[in-house]
C-alpha cells in the first residue's frame, strides 16, 4: 500500500524502465539498489509499448517489492491487450505481492493495423480501469497531462476524460513531465474545478542532455520554456556541464512546487542513480 499518498503526506517517488533484454537484469538490479538507498516512497516500472516484455515489468516490480521492500507500482497499457492478457499480468503481479498499477491506454504501436486498433478491447484507460476495478484487487492510478494530451482538442475535454478515470477507480494521478511549473499550477486549479479530488503527483524529468529534446520531450508533447532552451544553448555541447545544469533546473522546479503546496513529486529517474541522488540531496 502506497500509504503516504492516501494519508496526504508529502511523497517522493521514482520511475524506472525495465531492461530491454534478458541478460540485462543484473545491471537493472544494481541501479535499483542505488535508487533504493534514497528511500523513495514507491518506485514505478514502465511497460513496453503495446505490452511487449510485460514479464520484465513484473520481474522488476517484484524485485522492488520483495527484495528492496519498497512499494512497487507496475505500469500496464491496454492498447495492444485483450482482457485475458491484462488478467494474466494481474495474476503475475498478485502472486508477487504487487498491488498497485498505473493503468494506461498506451500509444498505438507502429505495426498495429487499423483493424486491430479498431477492434481493441479497451478504447481508453478509463475502460481498462473499470474492468480492473471490477475484476481485480488492484489499487489503480492514472496519467494526466498539464499541457493536455496531444490527441485532445482542448484542455476542457481532456479534463472531462480525466474525471472519467477518477470515476472509474483511479486513486491518484501522475503527471506527464513539464518544464514550466505554471502549466502544473493552472492544471491543478482546472482539475479541481472539474471535481478531480484524488492526489496528483507532479512528474519531473531532469533534462540532462540535448538528445532528450528529440526523444522524451518531443514524445511527451511538453513545451520547452526559454529558461530551458537558454540552458541547452549554453551547455548542450558539454555533457557534464549540461547534466549539472539539468539537475539544478529540476531542483529549482521541485523547490518551487513544494513552496507552492505541491506535496507529491514523481521523479523520472531515467535509471540514473547519480543524477537522481543529486536531485534528492538538492531538495532536502
**Nearer CB in complex with ligand FAD: 205/242:** 205
With contacts defined by CB under 6 A, name the span among 3-11, 59-67, 86-94, 118-126 that binds ligand FAD: 118-126
Respond yes or no: is residue 84 known to be catalytic: no
Residue 100 in the binding site for ligand FAD (CB under 6 A): no
CB 236 within 8 A of CB 242: yes
Residue 4 in the binding site for ligand FAD (CB under 6 A): no
**Nearer CB in complex with ligand FAD: 11/245:** 11
> Residue 238 Cβ, how far from ligand FAD at the closest point, in Å?
30
Per-residue 3-state assignment (H helix, E strand, C coil) for the chain: CCHHHHHCCCEEEEEECCCCCHHHHHHHHHHHHHHHCCCCCEEEECCCHHHCCHHHHHHHHHHHHHCCCCEEEEEEECCCCCHHHHHHHHHHHHHCCCCEEEEECCCCCCCCCHHHHHCCCCCCHHHHHHHHHHHCCCEEEEEECCCCCCCCCCHHHHHHHHHHHHHHCEEEEEECCCCCHHHHHHHHHHHHHCCCCCCEEEEECCCCCCHHHHHHHHHHCCCCCHHHHHHHHHHCCCHHHHHHHHHHHHHHHHHHHHHCCCCEEEEECCCCHHHHHHHHHHCC
Q: How many residues bind ligand FAD (CB under 6 A)?
A: 24
Interacting residue with ligand FAD among 11, 92, 161, 271 (CB under 6 A): 161
- Residues numbered 130-159 forming contacts with ligand FAD, rule: CB under 6 A: 143, 149, 151-152, 158
**Nearer CB in complex with ligand FAD: 129/228:** 129
Which residue in the list 15, 59, 147, 278 is annotated as catalytic? 15
Interacting residue with ligand FAD among 11, 13, 46, 62 (CB under 6 A): 46
Q: Per-residue x/- mask for ligand FAD, residues 243 to 282, rule CB under 6 A?
A: ----------------------------------------
Closest CA to 73 of 164, 148, 174, 196: 174
**Nearer CB in complex with ligand FAD: 77/276:** 77
**Nearer CB in complex with ligand FAD: 19/245:** 19
> Residue 164 Cβ, how far from ligand FAD at the closest point, in Å?
5
Residue 203 in the binding site for ligand FAD (CB under 6 A): yes
Residues annotated catalytic, as ranges = 15
Amino acid at each position: 500500500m502506497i500509504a503516504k499518498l492516501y494519508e496526504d503526506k508529502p511523497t517522493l517517488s521514482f520511475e524506472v524502465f525495465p531492461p530491454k533484454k534478458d541478460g540485462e537484469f543484473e545491471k537493472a538490479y544494481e541501479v535499483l539498489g542505488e535508487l533504493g538507498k534514497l528511500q523513495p516512497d514507491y518506485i514505478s516500472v514502465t511497460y513496453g509499448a503495446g505490452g511487449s516484455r510485460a514479464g520484465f515489468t513484473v520481474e522488476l516490480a517484484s524485485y522492488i517489492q520483495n527484495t528492496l521492500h519498497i512499494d512497487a507500482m507496475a505500469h500496464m497499457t491496454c492498447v495492444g491487450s485483450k482482457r485475458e492478457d491484462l488478467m494474466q499480468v494481474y495474476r503475475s503481479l498478485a502472486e508477487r505481492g504487487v498491488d498497485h498499477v498505473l493503468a494506461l491506454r498506451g500509444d498505438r504501436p507502429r505495426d498495429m493495423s487499423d483493424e486491430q486498433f479498431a477492434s481493441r478491447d479497451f478504447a481508453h484507460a478509463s475502460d481498462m480501469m473499470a474492468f480492473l476495478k471490477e475484476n481485480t484487487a488492484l489499487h489503480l492510478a492514472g496519467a494526466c497531462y498539464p499541457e493536455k494530451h496531444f490527441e485532445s482538442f482542448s484542455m476542457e475535454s481532456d479534463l472531462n476524460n480525466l474525471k472519467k478515470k477518477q470515476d472509474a477507480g483511479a486513486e491518484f494521478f501522475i503527471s506527464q513531465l513539464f518544464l514550466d511549473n505554471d502549466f502544473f499550477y493552472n492544471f491543478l486549479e482546472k482539475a479541481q474545478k472539474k471535481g478531480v479530488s484524488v492526489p496528483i503527483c507532479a512528474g519531473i524529468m531532469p533534462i540532462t542532455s540535448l538528445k532528450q529534446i528529440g526523444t522524451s520531450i518531443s514524445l511527451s508533447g511538453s513545451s520547452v520554456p526559454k529558461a530551458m532552451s537558454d540552458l541547452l544553448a549554453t551547455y548542450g555541447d558539454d555533457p557534464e556541464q549540461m547534466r549539472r545544469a539539468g539537475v539544478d533546473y529540476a531542483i529549482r522546479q521541485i523547490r518551487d512546487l513544494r513552496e507552492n503546496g505541491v506535496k507529491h513529486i514523481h521523479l523520472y529517474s531515467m535509471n540514473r542513480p547519480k543524477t537522481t541522488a543529486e536531485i534528492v540531496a538538492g531538495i532536502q
